[in-house]
Structure 1
Amino acid sequence: MSFESNVKLTITLSNPSLDADEQERETRNLLREIRDLDVESAELVGVAETPLGSKAFGGFLLGVLQAEVSIANFKKLLGFLGDRLGGKSIELEVEANGKKLKVKASSREELTAAIEQAQKFVAGN
């Protein structure tokens, strides 16, 4: 595997107790924090890329963001997500080497397992 390859992550936050404005604020805060890490890009997902069953808010999908990171920084980003999102319901889609992995987590333990699965997936194990 080439270390120049980047890993694309789609992170979907799911918190039914938040209204649309609160969900939007939480997503934008997470996006800002991810941009402070060493990532190639991080952005909200535009409505044009709407997955089936998603809700849109202000031209962007509610609670959905994408990040692209180098293989070298992938583990650091996953560690950050584990610390920041432990105990929250999220869906993580990882795309690397032309393959995709989609995992869901709604507890710290599930998120830890999902992160380990994503790391193995990217490593090709």
Structure 2
Amino acid sequence: MTASSNIRLTIEFNDPASNPEREDEQAQLLINDLQDKDIDFIDTVNRVPDSSSSDEAKSAGGFLVGLLMAEVKIDNAKKLFGYLRDRLGGKTIELTVEANGKKLSVKASSREELDYAIKAAQDFISK
């Protein structure tokens, strides 16, 4: 993978002890943080649109609850993972990494699991 290639990360807040409103709030707070003008290593960060026509799908205003998607150049992935490690340690999340047409999904609900998930994602990207 070249240094100018992009990777896409989808982060889902999915704590079974939480409620959808709180998960959506956590996603929106992280989006706001990543859109900060001082963070220049993110290419894009957005909510995930709800393309489901099901009335039972969890969505808020046309977006999936508790989900966000970020895109970053491969050479900035380490910065993003470090940022996420600082912000998400101890939160229950699912992280999906897309690179080179392949996907890796990992779950974490503790600081140790998040460290392992980030290491797995970095190894996946470097292949």
Show the counterpart of 2:117: 114
Matched, 1:41 2:44: yes
Partners of 2:109 and 2:17 in 1: CA distance = 14
Show the counterpart of 1:7: 7
1:56 to 51, 54, 59: 59
Amino acid at match of 1:120: D
Q: Note closer, same or farther for the CA distance 1:101–1:55 as it changes in structure 2 (3 Å cut).
A: same
Show the counterpart of 1:23: 23
Q: Percent identity?
A: 48
Q: CA deviation at 1:17?
A: 4.0
Which is further off, 9-18 or 63-72? 9-18
CA-based RMSD:
1.8
Matched, 1:76 2:90: no
Q: Note closer, same or farther for the CA distance 1:54–1:68 as it changes in structure 2 (3 Å cut).
A: farther
| TM-score scaled by length of structure 1 | 0.89
Show the counterpart of 1:32: 32
Runs of 5+ consecutive residues of structure 1 not aligned to the other structure: none
| TM-score scaled by length of structure 2 | 0.88
Partners of 2:66 and 2:105 in 1: CA distance = 16
1:85-124 deviation per Cα after TM superposition (whole angstroms, max 9, x unaligned): 1011100000011111010011110000000000010011
Amino acid at match of 1:97: N
Runs of 5+ consecutive residues of structure 2 not aligned to the other structure: none
- Confirm or deny: 8 A CA contact 2:97 2:103 kept in the other structure: yes
Amino acid at match of 2:99: A
Amino acid at match of 1:62: V
Amino acid at match of 1:24: D
Q: CA deviation at 1:57?
A: 1.7
Q: CA deviation at 1:47?
A: 0.5
Q: Secondary structure of 2:42's match? A: coil
